[in-house]
Structure 1
């Protein structure tokens, strides 16, 4: 069952990586990142709400704890998307991605403090391997080609903390009620929060644009399908393991860029990709044992 949980989280991360490539296509066409994020969550919310209504009586569950954890998960997703884009604007994609993927460190520290998990050298080794792979993959080690501002660093770390928040939010919500309920509540709060920050004119223009198909695909793959996999998977594994396995996302995004957008990977980037995949594979095998 643990291996099934790891597999589902990995499928979710692959979908997130693909959605990153789709978002990159939309940004090159001039769309605002916050508008792209809003539609990603809004289309996902429609999918989850339809799933929730399909079996309303079975899915309806009145619990204050379920609502609170689901709302916190939604806040975490909104914060993760928003601060990630702010970090990109203030520094660079390499720095933003590297700082956001420090989330496993935050998750593991919180898990130790709350006594959800025991601290082991194996877990710290996995985190170190993943972070080293992210640095190599994003090129953040090259200090000559990147610039880091205080705002960029702060926003990137806050994106990582937000990532940790939605992991714990979904973990606790899914242990109380049905995934349909927790996802619907979480993404409803996500839409309300991001709507406050979107350009209303550009948001309305999406509906009649020729790129509407890309926005729908982004929402279905990047939220509708991926978060169903994620919530079902995190019920079968620990928060720290889920956060580390989800690091296959940047690998998928990089492969998407190579295969469909025409990007090129250096030797260092390939080494980083292999290091991430190796670490996640070792962790998956350990979990299944």
Structure 2
């Protein structure tokens, strides 16, 4: 079962990496970042509703309705920020840069934890932070004069996408103590869809079902907000968090390969070196951390022993 769990997590990471490439392709065809983010959330919301009702999760009472709704709404805010900032970063830089910057966000969560005295600095954590900072400098080319491949907005949006993702992880983990995973994701994705409405060109959004690319939007929503979440949650129940944290690297790597092979978005040797440093440092940090309440990537943000679904399965 552990091998199947790991394979499902890998499949989820592959789908999230492909999502970045599909989003970049849609933007190259004239679709706005906010529009594709809106559709990703809406299709994901429909998928989560289907998951919840088909498997009977809607019949399970919540331990605390207020806690479930409160944390799920915060998770929705994180999802909205993550989706929109990520694709705006892709638009301002490239799929590879945006995905890697988002992946490095846990470092900034650690820094905030140090300043708030929630976490104690250790040589491993401090070393990882330094390595990630060096990697970001190399990846974004901020020290290269005349480099225009990555704009300041692209860097800012990529990091904001990661921070938003961290907010989602924190809220999702907290909400999982009060209700079922499908219900939490349905609330979060539903709210994120509503949050995006004021920022979205609704004329363009409504035109999607009548456009030639309608099927790409459906595929984009399924792999980015529907099937991927199901694979990830199901896989995490049967795999170790330490293993999941390693295979999560597949997401930025897949995004990079999609950008390179399909979109023609190349990287310089310096940028590849920066990307490798970031992924290596995050992996080392993920393996070294032992406290479940530290905000890292999703594989470490969920605990099988605090999930209602896992508890129900064990009993």
TM-score (norm 1): 0.78
Find the counterpart in structure 1 of residue 80 from structure 2: 78
Give, in whole Å, the separation in 1 of the partners of 2:151 and 2:259.
24
Q: Are the aligned partners of 2:89 and 2:157 in contact in 1 as well (CA < 8 Å)?
A: yes
Q: Report the CA distance shift for 1:220/1:127 in structure 2 as closer, same or farther (over 3 A).
A: farther
Q: Are the aligned partners of 1:248 and 1:276 in contact in 2 as well (CA < 8 Å)?
A: no
Give, in whole Å, the separation in 2 of the partners of 1:111 and 1:6.
30
Find the counterpart in structure 1 of residue 125 from structure 2: 123
SS for the counterpart of 1:175 is coil
What is the count of residue pairs matched by the alignment?
282
Q: Are the aligned partners of 2:140 and 2:155 in contact in 1 as well (CA < 8 Å)?
A: no
Find the counterpart in structure 1 of residue 274 from structure 2: 272
Q: Are the aligned partners of 2:24 and 2:90 in contact in 1 as well (CA < 8 Å)?
A: no
Give, in whole Å, the separation in 1 of the partners of 2:41 and 2:169.
16
User: What are the residue-to-residue correspondences of 1:78-117 with 2, within 5 Å?
Assistant: 78-85=80-87, 92=93, 100-111=102-113, 113=116, 115=118
User: What are the residue-to-residue correspondences of 1:1-12 with 2, within 5 Å?
Assistant: 12=12
Find the counterpart in structure 2 of residue 46 from structure 1: 46
Q: Report the CA distance shift for 1:8/1:129 in structure 2 as closer, same or farther (over 3 A).
A: farther
Q: Residue 215 of structure 2 is aligned with which of 191, 213, 219?
A: 213
TM-score (norm 2): 0.72
- The yes-or-no answer on 1:34 pairing with 2:67 is no
Give, in whole Å, the separation in 2 of the partners of 1:8 and 1:279.
24
The CA deviation at 1:272 is 3.1
Q: CA-to-partner distance for each residue in 1:8-29, whole Å, 9 max, x for gaps?
A: 7665443222100000110111
Q: Are the aligned partners of 2:73 and 2:188 in contact in 1 as well (CA < 8 Å)?
A: yes
Give, in whole Å, the separation in 1 of the partners of 2:69 and 2:3.
29
Give, in whole Å, the separation in 2 of the partners of 1:187 and 1:138.
31
Question: What is the root-mean-square deviation of aligned Cα atoms in Å?
Answer: 3.8
Q: CA-to-partner distance for each residue in 1:2-49, whole Å, 9 max, x for gaps?
A: 999998766544322210000011011111110011111111111101
Give, in whole Å, the separation in 1 of the partners of 2:6 and 2:192.
25
Q: CA-to-partner distance for each residue in 1:214-273, whole Å, 9 max, x for gaps?
A: 1111111111133335556499759xx96x975653332111112223333332233234
